[in-house]
Amino acid sequence: MKNKDSYGKKTKTRLLWIIVFLVIWETIAQSRTFPEAIFPSLPVIAKALGDSVVSGEILLQTGWSLALILQGLLVGLAAAVLLSSLAVRSRIFDGLVDTLTAIAHPLPGIALLPLIIIWFGTGTLAILVIIVHSVIWPMILNITTGFRAIPPIYKETGLNLGLNQVRIIKDIMIPASLPYVLSGIRIGWARAWRALISAEMIFGAVGLKGGLGWYIFKQRVFMDTPGIFAGLFVIVLIGIVVEDCVFAAFEERTVKKWGMI
């Protein structure tokens, strides 16, 4: 109850500030201090957004980006769970995973781009590699921490109840470390989303599918500034929806409901 109230309040203040921000924006735009190609007014941006929604292009590109990031997240999550499970079980693997993470975690995906182009080309595979690289290391860090924080009693109970190793991981370790796994996915999502947009802005298909980053880049090369803002708006919107709706709702239905956080 209390929680909901404060949530409502947060939304309210946020809305207020968005309105303030839009008013500032429009005031500057209407003052004609800057050319429209630098500072387009809100109706112009809204129209650009509306047009690209009607033509279906921005939806198509957004869908494309979301599909890619979902694939990347799933692959990254699966690989992270596998490596983390090995790491908490074996010293040697722990050393390996730890070393890999130490080396790869600080490397921004974009810095690897020249290598990725040579090794994986410029297609979906290359973008997937960048996404997986962005998500897997923070996920491993979170998941191994989560696995190590699991009270041994859960595993022992699981063994006593007749679970095999696979089930111990799937049915005990993952749910027991879900708060950590979730925060790993959150960080992974944020990093992957940024990496995806940046990568798409660097190479994309000129024709149909290039994703949201590509959409923005295309507006840029054809000097369609309102179109750029339309693309940015969609990026922000997706960020907020995923963070506040998808993750928050998932948390509400799982770890919060289970009294784990």
Partner 1 sequence: MGNDLRNKADNFRDKTVMISLQSVSKSFPRSQETLPVLNHISLDIYQGEILAVLGPSGCGKTTLLRQIAGFDKQDSGSVRMDGQEVVKPEVKRMMIFQDFNQLFPWKTVLQNVLFPLQVNRIGESDAANREIALQYLQLVELSGFEDSYPHQLSGGMKQKAAMARALALQPKVLLMDEPFGSLDALTRLSLQDLLLKIWQETGVTIALVTHDIQEAINLSDRIAVMGRRGVAGFKEIIPNLLDRPRVVGGGGYSEIYAQVYSLMDFRNENE
Partner 2 sequence: MRLKIIAGILLAAFFGLTLAGCQTEGKAQAKKPEIRIAEQYGLAYAPLQIIKEKKLIEKNLPQIEVTWRQLGNTTAIREAMLAGELDVGFMAIPPFLIGWDKGMDWKIACGLSSTPVGLVANKDDIQSIKDFTPKDKIALPQPGSVQHILLSMACEKLWGDPKRLDNLLVTLDHPDGMNALLARREVSAHFTTPPYLFKELENPGMHQILDGREAMGEDFTFVVGVATAKFYQDQPEVYHALLKAIEEALSFMEKNPAETRRILADAYQIDENELQKYLDHPDTDYSMEVKGVMKFADFMQKNRYINRKPANLEEVLWK
Site of interaction with partner 2 (CB under 8 A): 16, 19-20, 23-24, 27-28, 31, 33-38, 113-114, 117-123, 202-208, 217-218, 220-224
Residue 56: both structure tokens together: 């279906």
Please say which residue, 15 or 249, places its beta carbon nearer to partner 1: 249
- Residue from 231, 222, 244, 250 nearest 64 by CA: 231
135 burial via Cβ count (<10 Å: 0-12, 13-18, 19+):
buried
Cβ proximity of 87 and 145 under 8 Å: no
Please say which residue, 41 or 254, places its beta carbon nearer to partner 1: 254
Q: Which does 37 bind (CB under 5 to 8 A by kind): partner 2, partner 1, none?
A: partner 2
Encoded one letter per residue, x for contact with partner 1 by CB under 8 A and - for no contact, window 130-159 reads: ---------------------x-xx-xx-x
Encoded one letter per residue, x for contact with partner 1 by CB under 8 A and - for no contact, window 173-202 reads: --xx-x------------------------
> Which element (helix H / strand E) includes 109?
none
Q: Which does 120 bind (CB under 5 to 8 A by kind): partner 2, partner 1, none?
A: partner 2
- Secondary structure (3-state) at 151: coil
- State the chain's maximal CA–CA distance in angstroms: 74
Residue 155: both structure tokens together: 């595993």
Q: How far is the CB of 173 from partner 1 (least distance, A)?
A: 11
Q: How far is the CB of 134 from partner 2 (least distance, A)?
A: 20
CA–CA dist 91, 28 (Å, integer): 60
Q: Which does 91 bind (CB under 5 to 8 A by kind): partner 1, partner 2, none?
A: none
Give the residue, chosen from 2, 4, 91, 257, that forms a contact with partner 1 under the rule CB under 8 A.
257
Residue 35: both structure tokens together: 């050319």
Q: How far is the CB of 261 from partner 1 (least distance, A)?
A: 11
**Residue 171, interface with partner 1 (CB under 8 A)?**
yes
CA–CA dist 95, 98 (Å, integer): 5
CA–CA dist 46, 52 (Å, integer): 10
Q: Which does 159 bind (CB under 5 to 8 A by kind): partner 1, partner 2, none?
A: partner 1
Q: Which does 235 bind (CB under 5 to 8 A by kind): partner 1, partner 2, none?
A: none
